[in-house]
């Protein structure tokens, strides 16, 4: 059975920055970037444990197939939900990969409200 998912409120910024950068490199490449993200999210939803944890106990990382980005996410097995905390370029600071988590770690229960976005 497939999981549902929700995004951290700042993930849209991650998408927008990546899209804009690639679209400025070549028309249509931004759309290809978003499609790669969409495909990887589909894999995560159907096989959430297929990807391992790299730098944080509760969070997993799924590398995109065509672009140097990872999707950082957490599995909530009982609720069959995935929380996507960031979409991070692999060349950026590792500390920034988990910057969205700081709020989540302090206010875990309040983030369930974000899933309705």
d(CA 108, CA 112): 8
Judge whether residue 114 has pLDDT over 80. no
Ordered by start, the domain boundaries in the chain are 4-116
Return the structure tokens found at 8. 């951290």
Domain 4-116: give its CATH code.
Answer: 3.30.2310.20
Return the structure tokens found at 106. 């302090």
Q: Which residue has the tokens 């849209």?
A: 12
Cβ atoms within 10 Å of 51's Cβ, excluding its own: 19
| pLDDT in the model for residue 80 | 94
pLDDT digits (tens, 9 = 90+) for 19-76: 999 999 999 999 999 999 999 999 999 999 999 987 677 899 999 999 999 999 999 9
| pLDDT in the model for residue 108 | 46
| pLDDT in the model for residue 101 | 55
More confident residue, 96 or 47: 47
| Contact indicator for 6, 117 with CB cutoff of 8 Å | yes
């Amino acid at each position: 059975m497939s999981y549902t998912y929700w995004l951290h409120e700042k993930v849209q910024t991650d998408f927008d920055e990546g899209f804009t950068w690639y679209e400025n490199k070549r028309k249509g490449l931004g759309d290809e970037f978003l499609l790669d993200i969409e495909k990887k999210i589909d894999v995560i939803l159907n096989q959430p444990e297929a990807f391992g944890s790299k730098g944080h106990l509760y969070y997993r990382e799924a590398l995109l197939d065509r672009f140097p980005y990872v999707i950082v996410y957490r599995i909530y097995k009982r609720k069959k939900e995935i929380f996507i905390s960031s979409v991070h370029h692999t060349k950026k600071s590792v500390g920034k990969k988990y910057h969205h988590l700081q709020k989540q770690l302090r206010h875990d229960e309040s983030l369930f409200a974000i899933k309705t976005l």
